[in-house]
Amino acid sequence: MSTAGRRGAALRVQSKAESAEALDAAIGLAEMDIPEPGPDQAVIEVRAAGVNPSDVKAVMGAMPHAVWPRTPGRDYAGVVVAGPEPLLGRDVWGSGGELGIRRDGTHARYLVLPAAHVREKPGRITLTEAGAVGVPFITAAEGLREAGGVQPGDVALVLGANGKVGQAAIQIATAAGARVFGVERTAKPYRGHASAPLTMLAGDRDWAAELRDTTGGHGADVVFNTVGSPYFEAANRAMAVRGRQIFISTIERSVPFDIFAFYRGRHRFIGLDTLALDSGDCAGILDTLRPGFESGALRPFPVSDPNAYPLDRAADAYRAVLAGAPERVVLVT
């Protein structure tokens, strides 16, 4: 199928937005020509694209390697409309750390990618749900993989349990048979899916001591710290011998660090930056997640109608994410 002469709407950002109020002026909607795919490329008609905090930060100039002008967006789900015959008409999903940062991204009607980076979405989930999976599940899966994985019977601790990466990490860990604890700032119930019961701890109490007491002094074999510095010291106290702690974000860059406790505990720290994972890397990670979504052990984030924005309301969607929207926000085309 040729795309010659076809056009589609795309968000275009000429320069960074200085504030949330400036998003309307910074984000424009333009009609763009759809490139004819090369022999190893596919054209995807995007139906849904998640809006991640990193998408908003990039538009606001927080990513030093971002190029201008560009179309933002990392996650997508849609239908292949041009490219290799086996892919034509397929419902696909994906993400990429280069998308919307170093090249044009997914907040558009059409997206061109290397065909080798394109994956068919699980049949059990909708295109809108698939468009919201991307960054949170890829971050959770890759962080746990780099930490050596989660085994049945492991004690897993997720800090920022009700954030989207936290919820994805809890889904993966409970599906793997781990005993899972979550921490939120105050005593709040867990709001996502899990394959087994989990214990929620309040961040305004001594949750590290509570976890150790509950696990008979063992502590956490793996800690997924989605928050960073505010929980760093307590997380170290909660770690078991040979425990691993994963970091994806922080508030303060510098933290007190007890080297003696670190080496006596034989601990490991794992840093993860998913912007370094391109759409091919992310395709491989989604391949590992696909069986869980097909079986129902993993479930996509629900996307309610108020959180599904058309492209011409993208600035509203970005502001919702910037304000800390508790549910997944997507753009639909």
Number of domains in the chain: 2
Whether pLDDT at 2 is above 80: no
Same domain, 60 and 175: no
Same domain, 140 and 254: yes
Same domain, 54 and 87: yes
Only one residue has tokens 């997508």, namely 76
Judge contact between 180 and 153, C-beta under 8 A: no
> How far apart, in whole angstroms, are the C-alpha atoms of residue 37 and residue 53?
30
Per-residue pLDDT reduced to its tens digit, 71-94: 999 999 999 999 999 999 999 999
Same domain, 197 and 71: no
Per-residue pLDDT reduced to its tens digit, 39-65: 999 999 999 999 999 999 999 999 888
> Beta-carbon neighbour count of residue 179 at 10 Å?
21
| Tokens matching residue 82 | 């041009």
pTM: 0.96
Mean pLDDT of 291-310: 97
Judge contact between 155 and 218, C-beta under 8 A: yes
Which of helix, strand or coil describes residue 226? Answer: coil
Same domain, 153 and 264: yes
If you ran DSSP here, which 8-state letter would residue 95 be given?
-
Which structural domain range is residue 191 located in?
136-274
Does the bond joining 69 to the residue before it have cis omega, within 30 degrees of 0?
Answer: yes
Same domain, 87 and 46: yes
Same domain, 125 and 142: no
Same domain, 49 and 111: yes
Task: State in Å, rounded, how far the first CA of the chain is from the last one.
Answer: 21
In sequence order, the β-bridge partners of residue 98 are none
| Tokens matching residue 40 | 């190893």
Same domain, 150 and 259: yes
Mean pLDDT of 280-284: 98
β-strand pairing of 179-184 with 199-202:
parallel
| Tokens matching residue 79 | 């239908």
Per-residue pLDDT reduced to its tens digit, 238-261: 999 999 999 999 999 999 999 999
Whether pLDDT at 1 is above 60: no
Whether pLDDT at 22 is above 70: yes
Judge contact between 226 and 143, C-beta under 8 A: no
Q: What is the structure's pLDDT at 186?
A: 87
Q: What is the structure's pLDDT at 325?
A: 94
DSSP state string for 3-60 = -TT-EEEEEEE-S--SSGGGHHHHEEEEEEEPPPP-TTEEEEEEEEEE--HHHHHHHT
Residue 97, domain CATH: 3.90.180.10
Residue 261, domain CATH: 3.40.50.720
**59 φψ region: left (φ > 0), alpha (ψ -120 to 50), beta (else):** alpha
Whether pLDDT at 4 is above 80: no
Q: How far from chain centre, in Å, is Cα 234?
A: 25
Q: How far from chain centre, in Å, is Cα 105?
A: 15
Same domain, 220 and 326: no
Q: Say which residues have a Cβ less than 8 Å from residue 4's Cβ, sequence separation at least 6.
A: 36
Residues 111/117/119/125 CA torsion (nearest 10 deg): -60
